[in-house]
């Protein structure tokens, strides 16, 4: 979809919706996030464009001014202080930690959407997972489904490679699929740290 212009994507999304497809179906078919699909459906080419329009409708000169005003309404001295407080409310030790989580969350929304689409499972297709710091074990939902070993392993490798690009590292992973279970092994310190972040997002965004 990246090669298409925003107005072309908007028209495509709106036409698919008029044709009877739900937002979730369109998101999976076009391999774009659910949130972005909603924004295209509203006629906006990006999240920033949508936020700016929302700010203008509420009488603010800019999106940033609206965020600062909202922070003051809630009793915070600044927008930044409100963000820090929000991070603490959500159980993060710092604003930086919370931003890192949001960063990985966006990555997961995109790559897990593609994963679910290719595996053709209900929801994200993940039953549960376990991690011991080195290995991440992912069990798929449909236990009777006999997926091709190479096919499943290639999909999970693609998801990890997508994430590695976001995190600007070269992940070193072994991936093995047997009997509806995928085992991902991290082979160095960087990859283990990266897998820890993945595990955290899996638990927050998929399992819970």
What is residue 98's predicted lDDT score, i.e. its pLDDT?
Answer: 62
Q: What pLDDT, in 10s, does the model give residues 164-188? A: 554 444 567 788 887 778 888 888 7
Q: Domains in the chain and their CATH numbers?
A: 100-207 (3.30.980)
Q: Which of 163, 165, 208, 158 is nearest to 182 (CA)?
A: 158
Pairwise CA distance, residues 84 & 82, whole Å? 5
**Residue 3, helix vs strand vs coil:** coil
- Averaged over successive runs of 10 residues, the pLDDT of the chain (208 residues) comes to 71 88 83 80 81 66 54 52 64 64 57 53 54 72 60 70 53 78 79 70 53
The β-bridge relationship of strands 135-140 and 173-178 is unpaired
What is residue 123's predicted lDDT score, i.e. its pLDDT?
Answer: 38
Structural element, H or E, at residue 140: strand 135-140
- Do residues 177 and 145 make contact, with C-beta atoms less than 8 angstroms apart? no
What is residue 133's predicted lDDT score, i.e. its pLDDT?
Answer: 65
Q: What is the pTM of this model?
A: 0.40
What is residue 93's predicted lDDT score, i.e. its pLDDT?
Answer: 66
Strands (E) in 55-104, as ranges, are none
């Amino acid at each position: 979809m990246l090669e298409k212009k925003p107005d072309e994507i908007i028209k495509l999304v709106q036409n698919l919706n008029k044709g009877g497809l739900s937002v979730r179906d369109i998101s999976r078919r076009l391999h774009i996030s659910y949130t972005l699909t909603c924004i295209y459906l509203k006629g906006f080419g990006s999240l920033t464009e949508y936020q700016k329009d929302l700010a203008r409708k509420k009488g603010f000169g800019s999106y940033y001014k609206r965020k600062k005003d909202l922070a003051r309404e809630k009793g915070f001295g600044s927008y930044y202080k409100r963000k820090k407080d929000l991070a603490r409310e959500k159980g993060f030790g710092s604003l930086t930690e919370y931003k890192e989580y949001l960063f990985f969350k966006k990555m997961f929304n995109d790559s897990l959407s593609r994963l679910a689409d290719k595996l053709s499972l209900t929801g994200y297709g993940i039953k549960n997972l376990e991690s011991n710091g080195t290995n991440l074990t992912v069990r798929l939902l449909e236990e009777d489904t006999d997926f091709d070993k190479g096919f499943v392993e290639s999909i999970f490798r693609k998801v990890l490679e997508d994430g590695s690009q976001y995190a600007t590292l070269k992940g070193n992973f072994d991936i093995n699929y047997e009997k509806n279970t995928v085992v991902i092994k991290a082979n160095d310190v960087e990859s283990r740290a990266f897998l820890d972040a993945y595990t955290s997002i899996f638990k927050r965004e998929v399992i819970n």
